[in-house]
Amino acid sequence: MASKNIIVKFSDGRKCPQLGLGTWKSKPGEVSQAVKDAIDIGYRHIDCAFVYGNEKEVGDAITEKIKEGVVKREDLFITSKLWNTFHRPDLVRGALMKSLQNLNLEYLDLYLIHWPQAYKEDGELFPADENGKIQFSDVDYVDTWKALEPLQAEGLVKSLGVSNFNSRQLDRVLEIASIKPVVNQVECHPYLIQRKLKEFCSSRGVMLAAYSPLGSPDRPWAKPDEPRLLDDARLKAIADRLGRTVAQVLIRYQLERGNIVVPKSVTRSRIESNFSVLDFQLSKEDLELIDSFDCNGRFVPMTASLGHKHHPFENDEF
């Protein structure tokens, strides 16, 4: 069992383990074992989403570990996300209930709007026309947020947040919110350190959660000539000096910045290694050096919805 996780506190007073297991791209057939391994190793925070298509298997693993007595439900912190085709206010509750059913849970600890841009409702998760272009919906995420708030009062979710929102979009939600978002989950790693967005979020009591902290090397659209964070010689030098892996340095980097971080793996040895980051620190010089790698290098640009009026990366600096 690895050392105990660091616990962070949201602006609403709720607590969250800072280091979690990501499940994006974890295939059915692999994800259940990965979640069981993670819980056995000491992870208590599992990051899910409806669109990942694997929530049911995640739920089976959680149910099994609770039944075995390894954990109680209240020991776990489970996040899921509202997909783009369910932004219309009348669809929000049903989408949450479906995730709860998949995960076999009575409540979520955190529910996020997965992206600010809405897609055409009542069909496929990626509704496309005959040319393969994604079909948009003009639902405003502000109305989606309003539909989420009563679900917290019902006890179906403990905390609410957003994902992939830029500063202007987050501000619009904060302006109308009776219940404030506690988290903005965004891509974050040394090539995209999100300094301005983090400062913006911090000033408003919103925590940054980092996805793809290892640069998402298994993303389906990766090109062979694109730089790989895990192969970066400068990071390797830091890792070698500390007797660590590059992945451990990348995870530790986010922890030291105060960000929640959800690295994904389905390999037990890596899941274990990724959790063994609580017993070392990066020096101030290391952190400054890693900060200097920032080149606005986004690995998850969401090109499928370019042209959407609520696309988060097209028109705003951060």
Indicate the annotated binding residues for substrate: 114
3-state secondary structure of 140: coil
Q: How remote is the C-alpha of 302 from its chain's centroid?
A: 15
Closest alpha carbon to 144 in 166, 130, 163, 127: 163
Q: What residues contact residue 133 under an 8 Å CB cut-off, 6+ apart?
A: none
Catalytic residue among 52, 111, 211, 253: 52
Taking the alpha carbons at both ends of the chain, their separation in whole angstroms is 39
Contact at 8 Å (CB) between 189 and 212? yes
Binding site per annotation, positions? 114
Distances 36 to 12, 109, 147, 161, 186 between C-alpha atoms, Å:
29, 19, 33, 26, 26
52 assigned to active site: yes
Residues annotated catalytic, as ranges: 52
